Amino acid sequence: MEELPKRRGRLAKAAQEPKVEEAPEKEPPKVRGKRKAVAAPETLVEKPEKKAATKKTKDTEHAVSTEQSIGAQENGSSEEVVEKKAPVKKSGRGAKKATNGDLEAVVEEPKAKGKKTAPSKDSKAKVEENAVVAKEEPAAPATKRGAASKSNSTKQSVPEAEEPVTVSKPVAKGRGKAKDKTDKQEVNDDLPVQKPDEVEPTKPTARGRKKVAAVADAPADIPTVTQRKRTKAPVDEKDEEADTAPPKEKKTKVTAAAAAPKMNKCATDYGSLNFALDDGNKQWNYKISSWNVAGLRGWVGKGGLEFIDHEQPDILCVQETKCTEDQLPEEARQIKGYHPYWLCKPGGYAGVAIYSKKMPIHVVYGLGDEEQDADGRLLTAEYEKFYLVCVYVPNAGKKLVTLPKRLRWNEKFHQYLRELDAKKPVILCGDMNVAHEEIDLANPKTNRRNAGFTQEERDGMSELLSHGFVDTFRRLYPEQKSAYTFWTYMGGARAKNVGWRLDYFITSERLADKVTDNVIRSQVYGSDHCPCNVPYLSCQMDYPRPCGCKGRRTCLHCEAEFGIERSDFYTTFQNSESFVYCPRCDKIYPGWDWEKILSEHADTPAHGGVRGEDYPGVYIDLDFLSEAEEARLLHDLDELPWDVSQSGRRKQNFGPKTNFKKARLRSAQFAGFPRVSEFVQRRFEQVPLLATFQTIEQCSLEYAPERGASIDPHIDDCWIWGERIVTVNLLSDSVLTMSPYSGSADGKPRYNLHFLEQYREHLLGELMDEKAIAACGNRIVRIPMPRRSLLVLYGPPRYQWEHAVLREDIKDRRVCLAYREFTPMYLQGGSEYRHSEDIFQRAKQFWDHQPATVES
């Protein structure tokens, strides 16, 4: 091997030790970069073990432990060598050779500033390998200039190394030759980036040393500043000395920054949030939530679904999903208890979704305009009492480049909402991308020509509200400031609450009073928007209540509790052309009071000589049961359990389970009828009209005036129930009010009337033509149901007239027994008889009931 340059100073003696045999050659690791690294020296000077032990003098100790330590420690294996690089205190020109135990290190000595010395061949050839091997102890902090490091004292052992350790001075960032005037050796710029705990305390420039010290104490997940980073400005001697101390303040600063909550990301503390209404007096049991999630996949990854677990909305509307259905995260595809509906066009950056506990009647995807539907911005779900519209309105863009498109959207969108509102009330929610008034954003003066607060966009919102729609938040909180739903990620806007109110719940005017609150969940993170919620009063009947009421079918208790204004059929019918059916002459006569009409039949001439009109399809037996039979029947029925039902009624239902929407029939729980009512069905055989009647369902219905019991106008389902509807009236007199049915207001089929065409030829009575029905448009017919009487409806009253029991006609407790038969499709020989054969057998059975007894 080549001889090292002659050494000067205190280490000269140590450098003159006799050479020993060469160590076996070992190929150095490859280093990435444009210039290839030159192989390490082929030989290594070894010293006898005993002699090395005697040579641990103060001079050699000082050579190893100077202002930056040089050493190596064993880490589990004799072949794993830890390389610690540190500049050695100058003691002369050229390179120094430090000896510590069995290790001989070749150290390049930085030249004195300003002096140019031709480097040796070795120094030109040597490029530091910069391979970092895991170590047990972190690098010692830099010490003050001239002070000896304590990390490599005489007490610290240095294990054997198989290769020489070359320590070089860090160089300025760049490729090729080093820029430092004091060292012209070639360097490799593509060195691997070191982790914070692997940064070696080499001697950088003053500014570089400061950065390395800070990185060395940083947490492992904080990006590091490598030694190759170019220094920008020198620092004075005072700063340089201060930088040699352990950087405690910088460590604290970096750690604090890493631990700071990511306010616009996902730092929601759900445990500290109250998801109940602030005012316990506000009544509701239906909640709709809306949230612009700024990317559904990212939102799910941030734990966004946890919001659903805590908020428990009945409907969740999501905007700006930014993913098509095939890109949806698996967790978002099926959320337990919700029906999902998505809309996002391929390549679209918008996208909306609805998650609903209750399946909508119908869902419409888009606005119906090719230009505006290109991104997928609107979903409409139709429910029984309202339309729900989930929307993500286009932004006007930077420098308002898309403002014209936004204004075209407004025109189409407003027209669409007005058309929906003409059919039924509308609930609109989502990101409207406009702050309507100055109170709706933090800095109105500086944003007047920015997207979201231009006069054109604000005027568009004002126009929408002028068409009979209401901003529910401003109706409830007209003066509340600093109520925002959006904050930019820049400048800590959310922490400072410098935001915009861009997300709205807007309803039709006739629904606005039913919205009990509008809650902005500003402490829920996961997006640059926060969720909003509307507890809605008018929809509280979409699920059965403890009293049994549901939907529009309410009782006095529900109406008093929630302030519901029920449809006034009584007043509507009184203003119609009313007739009363006389069961004694099977004619109808003008009038409203059925008791008066019946009493006039006994006059001479009957009904004062007025000629009545035919009203076919009604049969009444005024004395179907005796008083004793009525008492016994009611006594036995009251021993059976009663279930709550809608509109203040109670019921006892005996028959197969039916699903009218899906046209499904199940017989598993049907075991026949109670024996206490068997004699009633046997008596049907004595009525010629019911000679072929086979009871499939028996339903006991109780009407109580204190609950406001009633039944709204309707037609019994035509898919499963046959033509004859039989009723036995008990306990008190009542009346059935009939009104002609000419189709639903929205044009959609109801009552499964389309099945009628499959068995029309089997009907007992001929139906009225459309012209005759139209002529009865403002007419009602009241059919008396005296106590203990039998009523049968068939023909036109069964299929072309809706029947109702008005609350005003219930004076005392009334119980009616309703009996139904199958349609011809389910009779023997019919197309569906295979589904009903077993039910027919069950319907011929009667079971005894014995009251339960408690044994002590």
* Catalytic residue selected from 338, 341, 387, 392: 392
Residue listed under structure tokens 């007490």 = 155
75 is in an annotated binding site: no
Q: pLDDT digits over 345-403, tens only?
A: 887 689 999 999 988 999 999 998 888 888 899 999 999 889 999 999 999 999 999 99
Closest CA to 728 of 819, 617, 808: 819
Task: State which amino acid sits at residue 264.
Answer: N
299 and 293 in contact (C-beta within 8 Å)? Answer: yes
Q: What pLDDT is stored for residue 191 in this prediction?
A: 35
Q: Return the CATH class of domain 285-542.
A: alpha beta
Q: For residue 207, what are the contacts with CB-CB under 8 A and spacing of at least 6?
A: 231, 232, 233, 234, 235
**Strand order of the sheet with strand 643-644?**
618-621, 790-793, 721-730, 814-822, 697-703, 649-654, 643-644
Rounded CA separation 219/251 (Å): 8
588 and 579 in contact (C-beta within 8 Å)? Answer: yes
Q: Strands 801-805 and 734-740: what pairing?
A: antiparallel
Closest CA to 695 of 840, 847, 848, 846: 840
Radius of gyration of the chain (CA): 45
292 is in an annotated binding site: yes
Closest CA to 55 of 92, 90, 97, 21: 97
Segments of the chain assigned to CATH 2.60.120.590: 616-847
Task: Mark the ranges of the chain whose per-residue pLDDT is less than 70.
Answer: 1-266, 277-285, 348, 536-544, 562-563, 745-747, 850-856
Task: State which amino acid sits at residue 744.
Answer: S
Task: Look at residue 206 and give its three-state secondary structure.
Answer: helix
801 and 738 in contact (C-beta within 8 Å)? Answer: yes
Q: What pLDDT is stored for residue 828 in this prediction?
A: 87
Q: Nearest 5°: phi and psi at 325? A: -60, -35
Query: Distances from the Cα of 728 to the Cαs of 610, 676, 684, 716, 779, in angstroms?
Result: 30, 14, 11, 16, 26
Q: Strands 387-392 and 426-431: what pairing?
A: parallel
Rounded CA separation 146/137 (Å): 23
- Alpha carbon 788 to its chain centroid, in Å, reads 56
Q: pLDDT digits over 433-467, tens only?
A: 999 999 999 999 999 999 999 999 999 999 999 99
DSSP letter (8 states) at residue 249: H
Q: What pLDDT is stored for residue 746 in this prediction?
A: 61
Q: Strands 846-847 and 673-674: what pairing?
A: parallel
Is 431 an annotated catalytic residue? yes
Q: Which residues sit opposite 659 in a β-bridge?
A: 664
Task: State which amino acid sits at residue 607.
Answer: H
Q: What pLDDT is stored for residue 337 in this prediction?
A: 87
Is 525 an annotated catalytic residue? no
Q: What pLDDT is stored for residue 547 in this prediction?
A: 82
110 and 117 in contact (C-beta within 8 Å)? Answer: no
217 is in an annotated binding site: no
* Catalytic residue selected from 436, 529, 607, 803: 529
Q: What pLDDT is stored for residue 609 in this prediction?
A: 86
Q: What pLDDT is stored for residue 542 in this prediction?
A: 54
* Catalytic residue selected from 183, 431, 503, 542: 431
Q: What pLDDT is stored for residue 271 in this prediction?
A: 82
809 is in an annotated binding site: no
User: Got the DSSP string for 740-770?
Assistant: E----TTS---TTGGGGGGSGGG-SSPPPPH
Q: Residue 251 corresponds to which tokens in the numbers above?
A: 């460590």
Q: Residue 579 corresponds to which tokens in the numbers above?
A: 């007739």
Q: What CATH number has the domain spanning 616-847?
A: 2.60.120.590
Q: pLDDT digits over 484-523, tens only?
A: 999 999 999 999 999 999 999 999 998 888 888 999 999 9
320 is in an annotated binding site: yes
503 is in an annotated binding site: no
Residue listed under structure tokens 């990006």 = 223
Is 529 an annotated catalytic residue? yes
Segments of the chain assigned to CATH 3.60.10.10: 285-542
698 and 818 in contact (C-beta within 8 Å)? Answer: yes
Q: What pLDDT is stored for residue 354 in this prediction?
A: 96
543 and 526 in contact (C-beta within 8 Å)? Answer: no
